[in-house]
Amino acid sequence: MTLSPTGLQGSLVLDAEALYHELLRGVRMLREPTTRLAGIASGGAWLAERLQKDLGLDGEAGVLSSSMHRDDFAQRGLAASAQTALPFDVNGADILVLDDVLYTGRTVRAVLNELYDYGRPARVRLAVLVDRGGRELPVQADFAAARVALPAAQSLALARTEGGKFHFQIKEA
């Protein structure tokens, strides 16, 4: 599914809940019985946590932090987001990494470096809620629920209500 901005300043019509259900369908297709879920903090971790429940999987999904391997660490510093927590053995695992928005590919590169600090998986795949293009690195999702065209000056991020419902926030950079 390819979408584009509505033309209204600061507004993008994207139904995050509908896209989540599309992502759930895609993850069902990608997942094998031994696949482990790991979400990129924070939006991807929220997705992984909810997918873990909706797929009826035992245990907890993993969380991957990109903060220690970012190439802009000097400018950004250590993020206050969640730290990496992998409740499974990475060595030889089939891991499906989840993220809310794929843009330049730099966060995914940092997360892969973090993941390999914990061991050597047999396979790593990527599923995202939204692919907004604009890649700076050769990174591609195995599944994207939607593709969105946004100006470089705007950022798109997943948010959730206290009740756990997803929605998007779009901001001017």
* 58-102 residue pLDDT tens: 999 999 999 887 665 545 455 556 799 999 999 999 999 999 999
Quote the CA–CA distance of 166 and 135 in Å, as a whole number.
25
Phi, psi (deg, nearest 5) at residue 156 = -125, 130
CATH code: domain of residue 26: 3.40.50.2020
Residues of the domain holding 52: 2-172
Task: Give how many domains the chain has, as a whole number.
Answer: 1
Tens digits of residue pLDDT in 123-158: 999 999 999 999 999 999 999 999 999 998 999 999
* 2, 11, 68, 142 from 14: Cα distances, Å: 11, 9, 31, 21
